Structure 1
Amino acid sequence: MTISEVGIVKRNVIAMIILYGVIVSCAKDITRVTIAKTPLPKNFTATEVKVITHSNDDVACMLFAYRFSQGNVVYFEVVPASDAKEINVIFNGKNIPIAKRSWGFRGFFAIAPDEKPGTYLFTVTIGTKKIDIPVVVTRTAFLVSTIPMDLGKFSQKEFLESPEVQEFIQQSTEKKQKAFATQFADLIRGRAFHPCDVHEVNSQFWAKRVYKLYDNTNGKTQTVERIHRGIDLNGDVGDPVYAMLDGIVVLAEMLFYEGNMVIINHGNGIFSYYMHMEKLYVASGDKVVAGQQIGTVGSTGMSTGPHLHVSLVVGGVQVNPMSILPLPIRE
């Protein structure tokens, strides 16, 4: 039995674009299917992955990650030596959804942003045989901002606490909860696409940010700390926004904080979502493929200027959405 960690492995991230057959459905703004010209912008440089491999007479396993560190997603493949109808996969004591493929099994799991650095077990059970693979999780240096941001009316306590706004916030929360409660089997057919044509980060994943909150009744100003649970990408109003992975749209409408928002369910507990868009080109229930245009960049909702906020959720855990881009996901 051997367990080895291969160093940084070059992966060809500019894969051939396969235009899947798509049923074009009537979207909120227009009806069309536009596919990004390339999975990754030229200026996206995170094109390497780290790999952990394990093999013995019974099974071969490979785990891929941009980094095995806090806030990243891990893609894995399990190939049994003989036909296995079922396997069980656990990481850090949590069952991981898997999908059967012609060549074996595959799946994804998240390394939580607040996971303590250390060694955790990735366990595969096939019948009566159990394989433990150690995964060393390292620390990620998340950014901390101490400069309070003024969000205009969203920094006004009187505005936020008005009855009509509170009702809108409650409605928005319920719609998001309903969308994230949807369940589908694995819908991902291949590797991920970047959501924009240009990779220019405005605000990093899991950065701690400080906002101003004005109370006009007493003239006092408070500060509120928030964790940024996604990544902000610069763009101009009207720039295209693309689906990162194949899936089904489970929400596409205007919400309070998020503005025009799209949530896509990719199956097996994986969701991506896109916020502050100007226009939406999809509607709830639409099937989309990786790289399909779903809307345009805007500055709707709680936004200080045109940009795209994009997030990725894996098994209920927020991860850096950019960490899935270099992974060699195969059908």
Structure 2
Amino acid sequence: MAASPMSYLQTHGPAGDPATLLGWGLGIVSAVVLLVVVVLLLAGLLRQRPGTPALRELAVESDSGGLRWIYVGVGISTVVLVACAVWTMTTLQAIAMPARAADLTLQVTASQWWWKVRYVGAQPAGTFDTANEIHIPVGHPVRVELSSNDVIHSFWIPQLAGKTDVIPGKTNVMWLQAARPGVFRGQCGEFCGAQHAHMAMYVVAQDEAAFAAWRQQQLQPAVDGATTGQKVFDASCAACHSVRGTAAGGIFGPDLTHLMARSTIAAGMLPNTPGQLAAWISNPQSIKPGTRMPAPTLSPAELQAVVAYLQTLN
């Protein structure tokens, strides 16, 4: 992870680079304008005509060339403002859509407080779901279709692209493209309830070979066994969660088919380790108050069996 994963001062893709450059440029222009105004103001305050006591000067005097400064200032300001306006419009056009058609389409659905991610394949067999973690190939534009299940959210990966609101009943479209491999942290950028701050997203940019391998692995169903852990999971968790290849077909919570391939759980709150899985399953409200995941009634042995089963989902 980068030292400042939510910093937007340096971006790593064509969906964000023009806006970052514009931000730095307008900041520099503003600083120069402020400096010029301060210098001229100080010069005016300190200016004193030789041989004339300041206290005896008239409050209003006839013009002695001061209007020329106004004419010059208005002219320069107009040129700068027009240039900044043109630069802004050019930037908006550049980030509105990629230079070429997107190679990959994602359907991202926001809920309180997690992200469902559907990879849309050319055929139904090539479509699969994951959650809270997006993998994309480096150098390829990715179309992202955003919708919400409940309230207004905002999809924001600051090092790759700007914010896009996620509104119930509407599908907004934006795009991502990474210029280099890496892990880029995202966040819901619109207050959406008590756990708004704990609604994170990670984008993993990989080279083409690594992404193809990851995608192929995600398309594989889980192994349907008859272990104690799977039986407990089917009885206590399958009403909300799905595991492709098994009887678990819930639609209210994240798809867990390849849970252990993800680096975090609970939308970025916890590292994906056996201990954290057990803590999350046993009492999610103590970790993320208000979450819609209920605490199942499991004995210690059943809890350990479910955790052991989930660890096979990779």
Interval containing the TM-score (normalised by the shorter chain): under 0.3
The structure in which a higher percent of residues are strand is 1
Rg larger for: 2
Q: Which has the higher contact order (CA 8 A, sep 6+)?
A: 1
